[in-house]
């Protein structure tokens, strides 16, 4: 039985360590109750499918620090080329793909390729060596520690239950405030 999105993020919260965590879409609404530090960046509003690319840039600029991107499957489908870019520019980027086969924030319409797209296969074919699939909560609990440590890039697919009728998420604070918090934590002035 697939895990819930909330359960998947609870496991992530227990294993994220000092990594930066970038959330997108439904995860934006769920994550602040689990973690709300300056290293938690709710990428909302975002550019469509852009979180893995933003995370890659951040990871390249901060090579000593890991960056976890919690992406949706629909978002991933919009930016599949980013897998090739991530493979070509190794960094400590941990890309989690929340796979529920739905565009959840728009009401739950199926994505193109729902239930048949093999994201880890795509990632492997793009040249990313460390790929994982976690089909249920027990597997994710057992494997999260390994998946979220060691050299990146990593792509991990988390199969979660789809939920219909979700509202568009809201970030925990305005973008400018988020960027200021993150900048202070990284000791960077943009």
Partner 1 sequence: MLDGREVVAALKQSGVTHVVWIPDSELGTWERALLAEPSIRLIRVCREGEAIAVAGGLLLGGAHPLVVIQCTGLFEAGDALRNLVHDLKLPLFFVIGVRSLLAYRRGPTADSCPSFTQPILHAWNLPYTFVEDSQGAGALAAAYRKARAEGQAAAVLLPE
Q: Give contact residues for partner 1 (rule: CB under 8 A).
A: 45-51, 53-62, 79, 81-82, 84-85, 88-89, 175-176, 179, 182-183, 186-188, 190
Q: State in angstroms the smallest separation of the CB of 87 from partner 1.
A: 11
Cβ proximity to partner 1, 10 vs 46, nearer residue:
46
Q: State in angstroms the smallest separation of the CB of 60 from partner 1.
A: 6
Question: Nearest Cα to 137, choosing from 38, 7, 6?
Answer: 7
Q: State in angstroms the smallest separation of the CB of 54 from partner 1.
A: 4
Cβ proximity to partner 1, 50 vs 172, nearer residue:
50
Q: State in angstroms the smallest separation of the CB of 71 from partner 1.
A: 12
Length of the chain: 190
Cβ proximity to partner 1, 55 vs 101, nearer residue:
55
In angstroms, the CA 122 to CA 44 distance is 26
Cβ proximity to partner 1, 6 vs 79, nearer residue:
79
In angstroms, the CA 177 to CA 29 distance is 17
Cβ proximity to partner 1, 8 vs 105, nearer residue:
105
Q: State in angstroms the smallest separation of the CB of 158 from partner 1.
A: 22
């Amino acid at each position: 039985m697939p895990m819930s999105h909330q359960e998947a993020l609870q496991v992530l919260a227990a294993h994220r360590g000092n990594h930066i965590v970038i959330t997108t879409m439904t995860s934006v609404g769920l994550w602040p109750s689990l973690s709300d530090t300056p290293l938690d960046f709710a990428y909302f509003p975002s550019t469509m499918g852009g979180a893995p690319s933003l995370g890659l840039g951040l990871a390249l600029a901060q090579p000593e620090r890991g960056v976890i991107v919690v992406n949706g499957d629909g978002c991933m489908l919009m930016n599949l080329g980013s897998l090739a870019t991530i493979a070509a520019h190794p960094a400590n980027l941990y890309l989690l793909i929340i796979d529920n086969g739905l565009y959840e924030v728009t009401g739950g319409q199926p994505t193109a390729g729902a239930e048949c797209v093999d994201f880890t296969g795509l990632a492997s074919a793009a040249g990313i060596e460390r790929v994982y699939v976690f089909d249920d909560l027990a597997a994710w609990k057992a494997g999260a520690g390994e998946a979220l440590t060691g050299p990146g890039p990593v792509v991990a697919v988390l199969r979660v239950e789809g939920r219909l009728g979700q509202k568009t998420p809201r970030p925990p604070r305005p973008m400018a405030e988020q960027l200021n918090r993150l900048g202070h934590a990284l000791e960077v002035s943009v």
